[in-house]
Amino acid sequence: MCYDKKKPRKTNKTVVCLITFSVFLLIICACLLSVLVFVGKYILYNACDNYKKSFVVNRQVLPQKTYWRLPNDTEPVLYDINLLPNLFSGLYKGSVNITVNVNSYRSDIVLHSDGLVISDVVLYTGDLKNFPILNIKEKSEFQVIVITTKRKILPGLYYIFVKFEGRLFGKFKGFYRSHYKSSINGDRQIATSKFEPTYARQAFPCFDEPNLKAKYKVHLLKPKNNSYIALSNYPVASTEDYDEEHELVTFDETVSMSTYLSCFIVSDFDHTKTTFDNNGTMIPLKVYASPDNLYKTTYAAEIGKKVIEHYVNYFDIPYPLPKLDLVAIPDFVSGAMEHWGLVTFRETALLYTNTTHSTANKQRVATVIAHELAHSWFGNLVTMNWWNDLWLNEGFASYIEYKGALAAEPTWGMMEQFIISEMHSVLSLDATLSSHPIVQTVLTPDQITAIFDSISYNKGASILRMLEATVGEKIFQRGVKNYLNRHAYGNAVTKDLIEELQILYGNKLDVAEMLETFTVQMGYPILNVTVSGDIYTLTQKRFLIDPNATYNLNETKYRYKWSVPVTYVTDMGKSTEPILFKYNDDYITIKKPTGATWIKFNYDQIGYYRVNYPLSEWDNIIKNYDSLSKGDKTHLLEETFKIAEAGLLSYKVPLELSKKLKNERDYTPWSAGSNNLLSILNRLGSTKSEQESSFKDYLINIVTPAYKEFTWTENENDSHLNKLTRTVVISLACKAGYKDCLEQAEKKFDTWMKDRQFISPDLKSFVYIYGSTKASVETWNALLQIYQDENDASEKLKIMAGLCNVENVDLLKKLLEVTKNESIVRSQDYFDVLQTMSSNPIGTDLVWDFVRSNWQYLADRFTLNNRYLGSMIPTITSSFSTEEKLKEMEEFFEKYPNAGAGEANRKTALENVKNNIRWAANYKEIIEDWIINNKTI
């Protein structure tokens, strides 16, 4: 080939030059770019490191090295879990493969794990490449493990594989073992779980916070023989052989849910089956129990079906899962737990049969089911973002349960029962300085456990009832539906709920502000009424049972004033719309409707506040007692006593009002009146009043007509409410020492001990308690043996109440020791024994001494995180009324300064005792004077 070398050369030179220049430019650009990238990364890394140093908790920035909140940039997507329990050794092996989304640059992954032995941790990238781990540190004080990587983790999808081992025995939370005695097979072991609020981390490594929702693919090992089955939140997908003796059961993948809702059960339980209509699709509903208890599951199935069908309609949102199981667990730390699709219960809260169980037992079953099933929407579908807003779960379920129970059992008067069962107790607690706001900052597991209290449950429910009455049932229902739809499969805060209601209600009323005055500050107001002609002027003040208690108004932005929806009822009817008494108004005036002869504010005690009137108005209302609704009567029979106790009203008013009980036959007024009268009787007793027996005469006097009408003989046509009233009346009569009542109990007890003659389930408690008071050592021992042989959980509690109420101190001492033996008294019933014995005046000091000298034993056995250990303190000290006792309590708390989840309970206990002391000083004599003049009416 011939060519001119020069030309091309020349051209080549230019090209080379151009290329060289371009390469040079490129290099410069690349350098610049890498500098930019480096600087960018540096900034990002720093930001991310700074983030890591300060986990954001409830808008507060916590110091470095606090792991109470997980970094929220690592989100679990799916847990693929294997759990291989060995029911006999009480140990289990497990592994979990967690798919996570990392949303920013990190050099570690932090997840929860508590008490597990971790043997293997592998981190994979989204394309299944091994991601090198530098080290794995367990920070047991925060219940987390920290996986630190060798390189920075870039945002993206990862898999964390963890192999671990744990124990099932010796605990009642996390994944644990329960047992029962079968009439055919003897001792049986089962594995079960309970995770709320912070115990999923005890079962498997996980991101154990309510807003870190993920799906679950569960594989559970179960024995092949002895009819063992495995249950989890979803239906079984497949079963495969694992070894000679075991099968591995795989379940369908769940929807996205919080860790605390997952549940795993291996048992040999049997079930009753029904279905429910889920907007046209039939869904299986099964009620499981140990085979001997199977016949007690039919009522639960019937109620479960009715309640859930009602909810599907009410929320107008289908039940989101393909199955629903309810299971009675022999050892269960709570009353019940709403694991999605696999709700677990104490046996006492699920099993019912009319030959063994009382009317109260039946109602408990219905209301607990109604409560737990409400959580399928409130809590499970939409979950509180963090435990601060627990009331969104528990307050809601505690209110909606009444709607569910009402739908299933329309004759039970559930809405009036709300007043006595939910409202009255919390109004007392919330009138103390040791109360707390509904929405409260919590961080540690102890703080989280502690807010599962009556403020979240009962006050939460009461506020919702008031809210519904304010905005109207329709708007409330639609608002709730919109809230659920908007946040379905996600999380919410209090504001989210209010916003939905406000949108529907419009600007007529500031719903947000009204509700906030009740959620962000503790306590509630008392409205003071003054009258001028037909004009009623209302002012407000915080209600405290101790009128001299001091507090700082600046603690809250509303300065302890509330926006109160005021309602009233007169002989002309009810007010149509609530009148808002805004927190920043000094007073409001209301005109009594023309022609009305009396007016009572806060009809049916729907509002969460109290009302005090001038004496003439009180007289007028009480004079018209018979024209009032059951709710209003119930209201007055509680409120007058409490206002008197706070020093704002003469005790004469409630005591005179109590005379109305002579002609009363309805359950809720009787219940409220009886509770308050008995509280006076107890106070007279614990202050050794000379008038105690005269007050008993008074009580016998007012209870006699009802007692004679209801009698110990049941009527076939007795309504549910009649049966409940009978129990209140008999209980009061026996407590007041009514001769016939005690004789009946003794007679029935003797014949029962001799030949097990049938006792009506409603009367059993009275027979066991009052029939055995003076029992001989032999009889008491025989009763203890009956307790041990009895397998029904509710029946056992009733017998235990008998064992706790004897007069013989030595027997009580023996019982305290016997109760420590787990093979005689299940741990779940332990505190019940202490509390019941302490309510026996002869046992009060005994229990107190026992608790003080065995505190370390109790703390070791139950842990300070146990909510019942904490809540026992105010109960067993509730009758103390001397400086000496107060000092003992203070010294005891000083000796054991760590109260765990029971810190607030201790404050409440102290405040209650101070109030008792004050009561004795201020009112004892006044009441004694009244008794002297009224013991026979």
Binding site for ligand BES (CB under 6 A): 196-197, 334-338, 368, 371-372, 375, 394, 397, 452
Is 338 annotated in the active site?
no
Least Å distance between CB 196 and ligand BES? Answer: 4
Q: Which residue is nearest to ligand BES (CB)?
A: 334
Q: Which residues contact 577 (CB under 8 A, 6 or more apart)?
A: none
Residue 224 CB: number of other CB atoms within 10 A? 13
The single-letter DSSP state of residue 130 is: B
Least Å distance between CB 260 and Zn ion? Answer: 12
When the beta carbons of 380 and 570 are compared against Zn ion, the nearer one is 380
518 contact choice in ligand BES, Zn ion, none (CB below 5 to 8 Å, kind-dependent): none
Least Å distance between CB 199 and Zn ion? Answer: 16
Yes or no: say if 720 and 359 are a contact pair by the CB < 8 Å rule: yes
Determine if 397 is a binding residue for Zn ion (CB under 5 A). yes
When the beta carbons of 164 and 399 are compared against ligand BES, the nearer one is 399
Query: Which is it for strands 568-570 and 573-574: parallel, antiparallel or unpaired?
Result: antiparallel
When the beta carbons of 336 and 544 are compared against ligand BES, the nearer one is 336
334 contact choice in Zn ion, ligand BES, none (CB below 5 to 8 Å, kind-dependent): ligand BES
Residue 235 CB: number of other CB atoms within 10 A? 14
Name the segment binding Zn ion (CB under 5 A); options: 170-178, 390-398, 777-785, 788-796.
390-398
Yes or no: say if 887 and 850 are a contact pair by the CB < 8 Å rule: no
Least Å distance between CB 335 and ligand BES? Answer: 3
- Phi first, then psi: what are they for 357, rounded to 5°? -105, 150
When the beta carbons of 417 and 915 are compared against Zn ion, the nearer one is 417
Least Å distance between CB 72 and ligand BES? Answer: 23
Q: How many CA atoms, within 13 angstroms, populate the side-chain half-sphere of residue 98?
A: 26
When the beta carbons of 683 and 826 are compared against ligand BES, the nearer one is 826
854 contact choice in Zn ion, ligand BES, none (CB below 5 to 8 Å, kind-dependent): none
**CA distance linking residue 41 with residue 35, whole number of Å:** 10
**CA distance linking residue 718 with residue 808, whole number of Å:** 37
Least Å distance between CB 82 and ligand BES? Answer: 26
**CA distance linking residue 800 with residue 917, whole number of Å:** 31
**CA distance linking residue 717 with residue 728, whole number of Å:** 18
Q: Which residues contact 350 (CB under 8 A, 6 or more apart)?
A: 287, 289, 297, 300, 326, 327, 328, 336, 365, 368, 369
197 contact choice in Zn ion, ligand BES, none (CB below 5 to 8 Å, kind-dependent): ligand BES
Determine if 374 is a binding residue for Zn ion (CB under 5 A). no
Least Å distance between CB 327 and ligand BES? Answer: 14
When the beta carbons of 387 and 543 are compared against ligand BES, the nearer one is 387
Yes or no: say if 204 and 96 are a contact pair by the CB < 8 Å rule: yes
369 contact choice in Zn ion, ligand BES, none (CB below 5 to 8 Å, kind-dependent): none
409 contact choice in ligand BES, Zn ion, none (CB below 5 to 8 Å, kind-dependent): none
426 contact choice in Zn ion, ligand BES, none (CB below 5 to 8 Å, kind-dependent): none
Least Å distance between CB 867 and Zn ion? Answer: 13
Q: Which residues contact 870 (CB under 8 A, 6 or more apart)?
A: 450, 864, 899, 900, 901, 902, 903, 904, 905, 906
- Phi first, then psi: what are they for 547, rounded to 5°? -65, -20
When the beta carbons of 456 and 916 are compared against ligand BES, the nearer one is 456
Among residues 698, 784, 770, 787, which one has the least CA distance to residue 727? 770
Yes or no: say if 541 and 549 are a contact pair by the CB < 8 Å rule: no
802 contact choice in Zn ion, ligand BES, none (CB below 5 to 8 Å, kind-dependent): none
Least Å distance between CB 39 and ligand BES? Answer: 49
Least Å distance between CB 371 and Zn ion? Answer: 5
Name the segment binding Zn ion (CB under 5 A); options: 392-400, 408-416, 427-435, 781-789.
392-400
Cα-based distances in Å from 403 to 155, 280, 373: 46, 22, 12
| Three-class SS state of 87 | coil
**CA distance linking residue 834 with residue 815, whole number of Å:** 10
335 contact choice in ligand BES, Zn ion, none (CB below 5 to 8 Å, kind-dependent): ligand BES
Rounding to the nearest 10 degrees, give the CA dihedral for residues 198, 200, 202, 208: -60
**CA distance linking residue 772 with residue 749, whole number of Å:** 7
**CA distance linking residue 910 with residue 119, whole number of Å:** 47
Before 197, cis peptide (omega within 30)? yes
Burial class (CB in 10 A: 0-12, 13-18, 19+), 343: buried
When the beta carbons of 142 and 260 are compared against Zn ion, the nearer one is 260
- Phi first, then psi: what are they for 747, rounded to 5°? -60, -50
| Three-class SS state of 193 | strand
Which residue blocks in 411-472 are alpha helix, DSSP H?
414-418, 424-429, 445-450, 454, 460-471
231 contact choice in Zn ion, ligand BES, none (CB below 5 to 8 Å, kind-dependent): none
* Stretch (H or E) spanning 197: none
Q: Which residues contact 314 (CB under 8 A, 6 or more apart)?
A: 403, 407, 477
Determine if 599 is a binding residue for Zn ion (CB under 5 A). no
468 contact choice in ligand BES, Zn ion, none (CB below 5 to 8 Å, kind-dependent): none
* Stretch (H or E) spanning 770: helix 764-771
**CA distance linking residue 416 with residue 505, whole number of Å:** 26
**CA distance linking residue 156 with residue 160, whole number of Å:** 13
Name the segment binding Zn ion (CB under 5 A); options: 386-394, 413-421, 513-521, 622-630.
386-394
When the beta carbons of 331 and 372 are compared against Zn ion, the nearer one is 372
Burial class (CB in 10 A: 0-12, 13-18, 19+), 72: middle
Least Å distance between CB 260 and ligand BES? Answer: 8
Number of residues that bind Zn ion (CB under 5 A): 2
Q: Which two tokens stand for residue 837?
A: 């014995």
Determine which one of 209, 372, 638, 911 is catalytic: 372
When the beta carbons of 112 and 683 are compared against ligand BES, the nearer one is 112
Least Å distance between CB 423 and Zn ion? Answer: 17
Name the segment binding Zn ion (CB under 5 A); options: 186-194, 394-402, 525-533, 787-795.
394-402
864 contact choice in Zn ion, ligand BES, none (CB below 5 to 8 Å, kind-dependent): none
When the beta carbons of 194 and 635 are compared against Zn ion, the nearer one is 194
496 contact choice in ligand BES, Zn ion, none (CB below 5 to 8 Å, kind-dependent): none
When the beta carbons of 192 and 398 are compared against Zn ion, the nearer one is 398
When the beta carbons of 368 and 526 are compared against ligand BES, the nearer one is 368
Least Å distance between CB 575 and ligand BES? Answer: 32
Name the segment binding Zn ion (CB under 5 A); options: 388-396, 546-554, 743-751, 862-870.
388-396
Applying CB under 5 A, the residues found at the interface with Zn ion are 394, 397
Catalytic residues: 372
